Structures are given as structure tokens and as C-alpha cells.
Amino acid sequence: DQQVKQNSPSLSVQEGRISILNCDYTNSMFDYFLWYKKYPAEGPTFLISISSIKDKNEDGRFTVFLNKSAKHLSLHIVPSQPGDSAVYFCAASKGNSGSARQLTFGSGTQLTVLP
Amino acid sequence: SQTIHQWPATLVQPVGSPLSLECTVEGTSNPNLYWYRQAAGRGLQLLFYSVGIGQISSEVPQNLSASRPQDRQFILSSKKLLLSDSGFYLCAWRQGRGDYGYTFGSGTRLTVV
């Protein structure tokens, strides 16, 4: 049962244009969402997050949108740069009493920004 | 500042051999610790997490085990590796409260041959 889904395994975008990465989730108990960026042979690094009480969070070129009714979030990168080429993971979190808050990850989307 | 160390970076092991991957965190106390695996072409799968010394929770039944002998040390082990254990193993930590994001180590590429 995949609770966090990234249906596009890959995305190619021209440099300077907008990159839109999508993520869907099924568990309505998720209340915090994150995006991570991963280069080959490295650990993922945190990019941006959003709480379920918000519908938008912006940080420089990166904006995350959350649509709770559709259980959908997206990451917008504007303008896209070649250095943005990486695998992007969507992750979701929910509170668990008596245990560590865990992140559930999607399968990732490989973004390639073409010069 | 907090840092997380994971080693080795790469490992090639024969089927049936044992495994020990180590992860240590510096600059924090009582972190929550996690082991994830990224199999080829797949996402990040949570294997184990720990909220304190000697406390291990397993998410997926498998050929692996984890231990936390010290507050900032998390070890992933296997007595006999299988071919299906190949993958990219990531250790991560987070504080027990507040920030919900993880900080990941640089990962270990394990190839079982």
C-alpha cells in the first residue's frame, strides 16, 4: 500500500522554464509534507516543507502547494537551472503517539534541466 | 552543529556473508534515528527506527536487524546477506520534537554478489 505516490518517474524541462513535480497521498492523517532533493550516491537533502494548515509555502525559487481536498501537493521550481537536475522525493508525516514521527516517501521523480 | 556520519560509502559482499553498517550522529542528544533503503529504481523504504538506546522498531520483516548500543550510534546488521539486500542504505536522524524533517547521511551502496 503506497501511501505517497509520485506518478512521474522522470521530467525534462528547459533551463529557465518552470518545473512542476507532483505528489499524491492517500492517508488523510498526514499533517506535514516535505520535499527532498537527491544527487546520485548522496543522501537526500531537505528542500522545503509545508504544514497541513497552509496551502502554500515559498522559499526563493521553490514553492510548494498543498491541496488537502485532492490530497495532492506539488513543487514548483522557477526558473529551473541545470544544477536542479536530481531526484526529488516527496515525503509525508503524521503524528504517532509513543513512537518516532516517521516520514513516508514517494518513489521519486528524476528532474533533468536541459541547458 | 549537528553532523551525521555513515560508513562505509560502498561495500561489495558475497551472498551469505555478514553485514554491519554504522551510523553516528554528533552535536545532539537523544535523537530519533532511522535506517532507510533505496532499491534500484524505487523510493525510500523505512527499515528501522529508534527513539532511544536499545529501542528498535522494525517496519518491514526482512533479513536485516538493527541495534542502538549508544545514544548516537545506530547499526544495521545481517547474519547472512541475500542478493535482494543490494541497495543504497541511508541513515537519518531528527530531534524528538519540533522539526519534522530528517537529516540524512551520505549513504552506503551495498552490492551483494
pLDDT 10s per residue in chain B (113 long)?
Answer: 778 999 999 999 999 999 999 999 998 888 899 999 987 767 888 899 998 999 998 887 678 999 999 999 999 999 999 999 999 999 999 876 656 678 899 999 999 99
When CB atoms are compared, the residue of A36, A103, A107 closest to B42 is A107
Contacts of A57 (CB under 8 A, 6+ apart): A48, A49, A50, A63, A64
| Span A82-91, pLDDT tens digits | 999 999 999 9
Could you tell me which of A44, A86, A100 has the C-alpha nearest to residue B37?
Answer: A44
Q: Which residue of B has its CA nearest to A6?
A: B43
Q: Which residue of B has its CA nearest to A98?
A: B51
Range of lowest pLDDT (A22-26, A42-46, A64-68, A93-97): A93-97
Which chain B residues touch A89 with a CB distance below 8 Å?
A: 43-44
Distance from the B83 Cα atom to the nearest Cα atom in chain A, whole angstroms: 20
pLDDT of residue A52: 93
pLDDT confidence tier of residue A98, bands split at 50, 70 and 90 = very low
Does A97 have pLDDT greater than 90? Answer: no
Q: Rounded to a whole number, what is the distance in angstroms from the first to the last CA of chain B?
A: 38
Q: Do A44 and B34 lie within an 8 Å CB cutoff?
A: no
When CB atoms are compared, the residue of B59, B102, B107 closest to A41 is B107
Nearest-angstrom CA–CA distance, A74 and A77: 10
Q: Do B57 and A46 lie within an 8 Å CB cutoff?
A: no
Type of residue at A87:
V
- C-beta pairs of A58-62 under 8 Å, 24+ apart in sequence: A62/A35
Nearest-angstrom CA–CA distance, B84 and B107: 18
When CB atoms are compared, the residue of A34, A89, A100 closest to B32 is A100
Between A14 and A1, where is the model more confident? A14
pLDDT of residue B39: 77
When CB atoms are compared, the residue of A45, A93, A105 closest to B44 is A105
- Cβ(A42)–Cβ(B106) below 8 Å: yes
